[in-house]
Structure 1
Amino acid sequence: MSAQPSPQAPAEPPRRAGTAGETSAENPWPVRLLASKMDAYIARMPWTWVEGQVVQVSDRPGAHVVFLTLRDTDTDMSLTVTLTRRVLARLRAALPDGLRSGARVVVHAKPEFYAKRGTLSLSADDVRPVGVGELLARLEHLKRVLAAEGLFDPARKKPLPFLPRVVGLVCGRASAAERDVVDNARLRWPAVRFEVREVAVQGPAAVTEVAAALRELDALEEVDVVVLARGGGSVEDLLPFSNEALVRAVADARTPVVSAIGHEVDSPLLDLVADVRASTPTDAARRVVPDVAEELARVEQLRSRARRAVGARVEREEAALRALRSRPVLADPHVLVDAPAAEVARLRERARHGLEGRVHRAALEVERLRAAVRALSPRSTLLRGYAVVQVAAGEGAGRVVREPGDAPAGTALRVLLADGELAARAR
C-alpha cells in the first residue's frame, strides 16, 4: 500500500523589516509605516529655540491658532509655525513696528509631523523678537570671525579697471539707487554699458536674490566690475548686507565688487569685504568709470607737457651743436688732417734717407767683398801666366799634376789657363 503525499503547508508571508536599514526591494515599507515611524521619531524630539525671519502671517478670523512662515536667514528654506493668539498678541506688543515680513524672531517650539500630509511644522509656545542690540552684538561677533579668516585683508582686494567694458549692477526694483548709479555714470562716460539685475534688497528673500544676481554677473566674461547698490534704511533693513552667506559670496567673486549700501554713516559687513567701498550709489558711479571731460583735460595737459619737454630738448641739442661748430677744430676741419699728414711725410722722408744710407753702405760692402774674392780667386793667379795641369783621362782623371812623377810619359793632360784650356801629353 503506497504512502499518500502530505498536503503542502501554506507559505508564510515575509517578515516585515523592523528598521529602515533592513528594508529592501523585496521587503519594502509601505508609506504609512514610514510616516508612522517618522511621526514617532519626531515626537521624541525635545522643545528647542529656533531663529529665523518672518515671511508670512496667516491670521484667519475665528481661527484658534495662527500660522507663521519662518524662513532661514541664509538659505531658501522655511517652516510653518503654529501658535496661539495669546502668543501672537505678546509678540506684536514687543515689536515697535508690529509684526511684519522680514522681522527677526526666535521661537520656542516643538517639531510636529503630520503623517497624513507628510509635512513638518513647529508648534510654538513662545516667540520673541530679536532686538537691535542683540543683532548688533551678533554682527560684531561675525565681524571678528570673518576678520580672523582674512576676508577683510586689504591684500586680497582687487583693483578696479580703468574703463570697464560692462558694469554689473545689483539693485532694488525701480530704485533710486539704480538711477543714481546709471545716470551719474553716463554723465561721466556716456558710452558706459550696464548689466542690471533688479532684486529684493530687504526682507527674507534679499540675501538669496542678491547672492544669485552677483554670481550670475560674476560669471559673465564681459562684466569687469559689479556694483551692489541700495539706499539708506534702518539697521534691520540693511541686515541682509551683513549676512554671512552674502559676505562670503562677495569674497569668492572673481570680479571686483563695489559696495554702495546706504549712506555714509551706514557700515554693513559688505563694505569691509568688498574690493571698494563707496559712501553712496552716486559715489559708486564716480568710482567705476572715469570722467571723460577730466580725462580729455588730462590728455591735453600731458600733450602740452610732452610738447614743452620735446621743445626744451631740441633747444638744448641745438645749443650743443652750435657750441661744437664754434670750436676751432670744426671751424677749420683740415687742422685735424694737416698735422698728421706732415708727420707722415716727415717719417717717410726719414725712412727714405735711412733706407738709401743702408743700401749705399751695403753696396760698398759688396764691392769690398767682391775685390777680396777676386784677389783670392785662382783665376787671378792664372791671369799672371800660371796654369793648372790635370790628368785628362784614365784612373786619375781630374787629378792635379804637382810633380813629374804624377804624370808618366804618354799621360794625356789638360792644361787650364786663365781664358781657356789646352790638351797636352807628358814626355
Structure 2
Amino acid sequence: MTMDTNGGCNALTLSQYAALIRNLVARDTNLRERWVTAELSDVRVANHCYMDLIEKDASGRTIAKIRATLWSNRYYLLNAKFRAATGANLQSGIKVMLRGSAIYHEQYGMSFNISDIDPRYTLGDMEQLRREILERLQKEGLLKLNGTRTMPLAPQRIAVISAAGAAGYGDFLNQLGGNPYGLVFYPVLFEATMQGERTAPTVISALRHIEMVADAFDCVVIIRGGGATTDLNGFDNLELARAVARCVLPVIVGIGHERDRTVLDEIAHTRVKTPTAAAEWLISHAADTLARIETLTRDIAGLAQSIISGSREQLSQLETRLHTTARQGLSNASQRLASIESLIPQLSRHCLQNAAQRLDNIVHRLPDAGRATLRLQRQKLDYFQQNLCSAATSGLQNATQRLDNIARLVKAYSPQATLARGYSLTLVNGHAVTDASQLSPGTSLTTRLAKGEFTSTVTAIENNI
C-alpha cells in the first residue's frame, strides 16, 4: 500500500485491488460448480477451447457476456459427450447448459471454467423452437398450405435447391440418371448453403428465383446429406418456413436421416429421409404413371378390338336385313305406283271439271266487273278535272302576286329611286366615278341629281378614306 501525495489514507495498486477481487470470487461458494444456460459465441479451439457465453433478450440484443474456458483435458471428453447426444461439436450459435466455476485473473479478468455439459438442454431448446415456429405457422394458416399444391402424376422438371458440391446432390443425380426404367428427368440446380447461419437466407433466395420461372418446373426438391443434428438448425427458421409454405410449386424435402426432423419436414408437400430417397420417390411416381399408361393403353386396345369385332357382326346383320328391307320396300313402292296409276284418269277428269266450272264463273262475272271498273274511272276523271281547274286558278294568282312584289323591289332599288333618297351620281365623260385616284385637278365633272344635273371642276384630291 502507498500514501497519497496529500498525506491522506493509503491507496491500493491495481494488482492489489484485482487480487482482492480474485480472493472474493474464489471464496464465494455460490460461484463454484454452478449450472448456467447460455448461447455459445466465438468458439475457437487451440488445444484448449475458448468461447464467449452470451444471453440475448427477445429483440436479439445481448444483455450479458462472459469469457469461458474449457481446458483440453476436459474439452475432448465433454465435446465427445455432446456430439454423441446431438450429432454436433460445440460451436457458435447453439444454446447449452454448462457447469463450471467463476475465476478472476489479475491480467485476464473474469472467466468461467467449464467442468461439465448437459446435452439434453440443447436438444430441448431446439425442439422448443420448432414447436413455437409450427404454432405460429398454424395461426397464420400456412402449416398445410404447400400440401395443397397439386403434384403432377409424373414430375420430371425438377428445381433442386442444394449445395453444388454436396455428396447428397451427387447421390440424387446418380439415382435419377440410373433409374432402371429409362425415365428422363430434367433437374436444374439453384445453389444454396445447406448448413450454418446462411442456410435460411440462401434457400429463401433460391425459392424466389424458382418462383420467377415457376412455369418451367413441376416441383421443388430441397436436399442435403446427413450430418449433425445441429447442422439442421438453419432449417428451423420462421421466414424460411413461410417461404416454403407459400411456394407456388409442391416442395419435396430430403435434408436428413429418419431421426432428424425439422420445421420444413412438417410443412413441405412431401418429406423423405435423404436425397437418395427423394430421387426414389420421383422415380417411383413416374414409374407408376408409366405403368398406368401402359395398362390403359392395353385396355384401350382391347376395348377397341372388341368394338371393332362387334361392329363387324352388326354390319353383317345389317347387310342381311338391308337386302330384305330393300326388296320389301321395292314391292310396296310398286304396289303404290300401280294404285296411283289407276287413279290418274279419274283425278284428271275431276281436275278438268273443276277448271271448266271456274272459267264459267269468271265469264259470267266479267261484264259486271267491267262496268264497275268504268264507273270508278269516270269518277276519278271528274275529280281530277275539278281539282285541276282550282289548282290552275290558285297558281296564276300566286304567280301574279310574286311578279307584283318583284316589280316593287325593282322600282325601290332603281338608280332614280336612289337619287330621290338624296344620293348623287358623279360622271366623267359619261362614266361613273367610284375612286378619287381616277381624278386629277382640272378634271370636269358632271353631277346628276334626282332632278337635274350640274358641272364642276376638280381643284384638290384627298384620299383619306
Structure 1-normalised TM-score?
0.54
Structure 2: unaligned runs, 5 residues or longer = 1-35, 84-88, 98-109, 357-465
The yes-or-no answer on 1:142 pairing with 2:133 is yes
> What secondary structure sits across from 1:326 in the alignment?
helix
CA contact (8 A) 2:219 2:249 kept: yes
> What secondary structure sits across from 2:307 in the alignment?
helix
> What secondary structure sits across from 2:174 in the alignment?
helix
Query: Which residue in the other structure is 2:399 paired with?
Result: none
CA contact (8 A) 2:146 2:245 kept: no
CA contact (8 A) 1:69 1:78 kept: no
The change in CA–CA distance for 1:173 and 1:310 in structure 2 (over 3 A counts) is closer
Q: 2:279 & 2:263 partners in 1: Cα distance?
A: 21
The change in CA–CA distance for 1:332 and 1:297 in structure 2 (over 3 A counts) is same
Pairing partner for 2:67 from 65, 75, 84: 84
Query: Which residue in the other structure is 1:326 paired with?
Result: 320
Higher helix share: 2
The change in CA–CA distance for 1:168 and 1:353 in structure 2 (over 3 A counts) is closer
The change in CA–CA distance for 1:165 and 1:103 in structure 2 (over 3 A counts) is same
Structure 1: unaligned runs, 5 residues or longer = 1-48, 108-122, 364-427
Q: 1:225 & 1:361 partners in 2: Cα distance?
A: 89
Query: Which residue in the other structure is 1:100 paired with?
Result: 90
The change in CA–CA distance for 1:80 and 1:203 in structure 2 (over 3 A counts) is farther
Q: 1:66 & 1:358 partners in 2: Cα distance?
A: 131
Pairing partner for 1:131 from 122, 139, 148: 122
Larger deviation: 172-181 or 290-299?
Answer: 290-299
> What secondary structure sits across from 2:82 in the alignment?
coil
> What secondary structure sits across from 1:238 in the alignment?
helix
Q: What's the offset of the Cα at 1:214?
A: 3.4
Q: What's the offset of the Cα at 1:103?
A: 4.6
Q: 2:250 & 2:355 partners in 1: Cα distance?
A: 98
Query: Which residue in the other structure is 2:235 paired with?
Result: 241
Q: What's the offset of the Cα at 1:192?
A: 2.8
Q: What's the offset of the Cα at 1:94?
A: 8.0
Amino acid at match of 1:84: R
Q: What's the offset of the Cα at 1:272?
A: 2.1
Query: Which residue in the other structure is 2:338 paired with?
Result: 345
Q: What's the offset of the Cα at 1:246?
A: 1.7
Query: Which residue in the other structure is 2:267 paired with?
Result: 273
Q: 1:243 & 1:330 partners in 2: Cα distance?
A: 83
Q: 2:282 & 2:54 partners in 1: Cα distance?
A: 38
Q: What's the offset of the Cα at 1:136?
A: 1.5
Query: Which residue in the other structure is 1:380 paired with?
Result: none
Query: Which residue in the other structure is 1:158 paired with?
Result: 149
Q: What's the offset of the Cα at 1:330?
A: 2.2
Q: What's the offset of the Cα at 1:51?
A: 7.3
Q: What's the offset of the Cα at 1:247?
A: 0.8
Query: Which residue in the other structure is 2:175 paired with?
Result: 184
Q: 1:236 & 1:295 partners in 2: Cα distance?
A: 38
The aligned length equals 295
Q: Deviations over 1:142-187 (max 9, x none)?
A: 2122122221225763223455564232234643321321111112
Pairing partner for 1:54 from 31, 35, 41: 41
Query: Which residue in the other structure is 1:260 paired with?
Result: 254
Q: What's the offset of the Cα at 1:86?
A: 6.4
Equivalent positions of 1:276-355 (< 5 A) are 276-288=270-282, 299-327=293-321, 330-331=323-324, 333-353=326-346
CA contact (8 A) 1:69 1:80 kept: no
> What secondary structure sits across from 1:231 in the alignment?
coil
CA contact (8 A) 1:173 1:200 kept: no
Q: 1:337 & 1:81 partners in 2: Cα distance?
A: 113
CA contact (8 A) 1:162 1:290 kept: no
Pairing partner for 1:225 from 201, 215, 219: 219
The change in CA–CA distance for 1:136 and 1:316 in structure 2 (over 3 A counts) is same
Q: What's the offset of the Cα at 1:336?
A: 0.4
Q: 1:182 & 1:356 partners in 2: Cα distance?
A: 100
The yes-or-no answer on 1:201 pairing with 2:191 is no
The change in CA–CA distance for 1:362 and 1:179 in structure 2 (over 3 A counts) is closer
CA contact (8 A) 1:57 1:68 kept: no
Amino acid at match of 1:336: G
Structure 2-normalised TM-score?
0.50
Q: Deviations over 1:220-254 (max 9, x none)?
A: 45444321112334543322222212211212333
